[in-house]
Amino acid sequence: MYLESIWRDILVYCSADRLAYSQSQKWGFFMKTAVVTGAAQGVGLATAALLAQQGYRVWLTDLQAIDQAVKQLRASGADAHGLQGDVSSEDFVKEFAATVQVTHGAADVLVNNAGISLIAPAEQTTLQQWQRVMSVNLQGPFLLCKYFGLQMLEKRSGSIVNVASVAGLRGVIHRSAYNASKHGLIGLTRTLAGEWGGRGIRVNAVCPGWIKTDMDIADQGSGAYSDTDIINRVPMARFARAEDVASAIAFLADSERNGFINGVTLPVDGGWTGDASWDSLRTKTR
């Protein structure tokens, strides 16, 4: 590990730009390992693909079968691996963290992306629904931070990016459990940034606006909102793309270039949270 870090420093020092460093990662020995949850589709898969393209070895996990996503990334030349499981299960997260560590050493990057949505009036939200949303969206990231964080703390370096939401920064009607989970995730992010920053671990969050993924399609299927509702609300007049979010995650994950960014909650929302205008005023400017 010591020799590896010296070589990495020399390569970074000698290279005029990022290219030489990312090429060096492709030698395998120098490769950094990134773990992405909820990576079978949507933002998770786009993030794993981008990180692989940037020279990371990627470990994907999801509740759904992950083989297809791993195969797809390998076909494009990635060093990709997968393990199927539930992020809310402590047994699974422990096994996953141990598998990655035994195979490739401690993870360098953890992206807590797995999440589920719930649209329901608060007074009709059952305890079971509330608990499931909290288990996946908040308990899961806590467990992953804990078990991958232990590996990172041991080598005193690492970067964690949590995928929250604008719903972690603002209230949104009929999403009490989801919003509370994402507000909680931001609280966890800020707390760990403080607790672990002095030991070389950065912890940040991205807060996307509405993204055109299966989650949005399922939510819209319930009749809760339309494309026009979102487009009218966003200053940039469109949905986020999974790639927009992946690119912000990769930016925060990159400790070589962005190693002093810690404890931030970065909106990736086309201006949503910055704009308090009403829709007719906003749409008049287009």
Ligand X SMILES: NC(=O)c1ccc[n+]([C@@H]2O[C@H](COP(=O)([O-])OP(=O)(O)OC[C@H]3O[C@@H](n4cnc5c(N)ncnc54)[C@H](O)[C@@H]3O)[C@@H](O)[C@H]2O)c1
In the annotation, is 21 catalytic? no
Query: Is residue 202 left, alpha or beta, with left meaning phi > 0 and alpha meaning psi from -120 to 50?
Result: beta
Exactly one of 25, 88, 139, 204 binds ligand X (CB under 6 A); which one? Answer: 88
Residue 214, class by beta-carbon neighbours within 10 Å (0-12 exposed, 13-18 middle, 19+ buried)? exposed
| C-alpha to C-alpha distance for 72 and 59, rounded to whole angstroms | 13
Residues 150-179 that bind ligand X (CB under 6 A): 163, 165
- Nearest approach, Cβ of residue 254 and ligand X (Å): 20
Minimum CB distance to ligand X smaller for 9 or for 227: 227
Residues 31-60 that bind ligand X (CB under 6 A): 37-38, 40-44
Q: Map residues 107-126 to x or -, x wherever contact with ligand X holds by CB under 6 A.
A: ------xxxx----------
Terminal Cα-to-Cα distance of the chain (whole angstroms): 55
Exactly one of 213, 255, 262, 265 binds ligand X (CB under 6 A); which one? Answer: 213
- Nearest approach, Cβ of residue 30 and ligand X (Å): 29
> Does position 210 bind ligand X by CB under 6 A?
yes
Residue 154 in tokens: 């041991």
- Nearest approach, Cβ of residue 153 and ligand X (Å): 24
Minimum CB distance to ligand X smaller for 19 or for 65: 65
Q: Which SS3 state, helix, strand or coil, does residue 212 take?
A: coil
What DSSP string describes 86-140? -TT-HHHHHHHHHHHHHHHSS-SEEEE-------B-GGG--HHHHHHHHIIIIIH
Say how many residues touch ligand X, by CB under 6 A. 27
Exactly one of 63, 119, 143, 205 binds ligand X (CB under 6 A); which one? Answer: 63
User: What is the dihedral sign for C-alpha 74, 78, 81, 85?
Assistant: negative
Active site residues: 178
Interface residue list for ligand X (CB under 6 A): 37-38, 40-44, 62-64, 86-88, 113-116, 136, 163, 165, 208, 210-211, 213-216
